[in-house]
Chain A
Amino acid sequence: SQQGEEDPQALSIQEGENATMNCSYKTSINNLQWYRQNSGRGLVHLILIRSNEREKHSGRLRVTLDTSKKSSSLLITASRAADTASYFCATFTGNQFYFGTGTSLTVIP
């Protein structure tokens, strides 16, 4: 399976702390994306990093990609209670998207 795996499965932090989630995948990719899912809702695209990029920023989000290790990380800085959600990585290869298993993040006010 090309499905990515997120680590940790669940993460609980205090508001204001940084949250780091990791994603590992198995095959070569065109790009990797991170999505967020609030409880009871569909997934929403957050950020995309191409295979030739190593780091990307968007607001409080920082994504890194290490294609040699087939891994990516998502850092959310200065977390807020509203960041509580599940976060999924998705790899794009050919014309297919492959979603990971997700990390459940809880930010405690």
Chain B
Amino acid sequence: DAGVIQSPRHEVTEMGQEVTLRCKPISGHNSLFWYRQTMMRGLELLIYFNNNVPIDDSGMPEDRFSAKMPNASFSTLKIQPSEPRDSAVYFCASWDGVVNEQFFGPGTRLTVL
């Protein structure tokens, strides 16, 4: 298995633009997590899906952030409109629900100018 796949790896955009981050979890994993990591705030859980259903989105900072999981093999995290303070590394992780270990993707480094 190729592991968790995220795209793009790097994104530079201007304030006000829409940003879409993509994630493909490991096949067979039924849980998917989106995290944001910054120096100031560390690793923050944004949203958690189980069987494609959002279970906990309490970490989503505001309405500008939205996440979807239309099927078991794909999820998106969208920021519209983006702001400079959204600059961070965004990680996607998946879990099979059995072995207590999350598998992380390589992350998307987002820079909002």
| Chain A interface, >50% SS class | strand
Q: Which bucket holds chain B's interface residue count?
A: 20 to 34
B34 within 8 Å of A (CB atoms) = no
Q: A95-B50, A96-B56, A97-B33 are in contact. Are A45 and B43 (CB under 8 A)?
A: no
Q: B13 at interface (Cβ–Cβ under 8 A)?
A: no
Check: B26 CB closer than 8 A to any chain A CB: no
Smallest distance from the beta carbon of A103 to chain B beta carbons, Å?
Answer: 11
Minimum distance in angstroms from A49 CB to a CB of chain B: 10
Q: How far apart sit A90 and B104, CA to CA, in the bound complex (Å)?
A: 13
**B contact face: mostly helix, strand, loop, or mixed:** strand
- On chain B, the residues within 8 Å of A44 by CB distance are 104
Given contacts A88-B43, A99-B43, A102-B42, are A41 and B100 in contact (CB under 8 A)?
A: no
- B70 → chain A, closest Cβ, in Å? 22
Q: Nearest 5 CB-CB pairs, A to B?
A: A42-B104, A45-B101, A43-B104, A101-B42, A99-B43
The chain B residues found within 8 Å of chain A, CB to CB, are: 4, 31, 33, 35, 42-43, 45, 48, 50, 55-56, 91, 93, 95, 97, 100-107
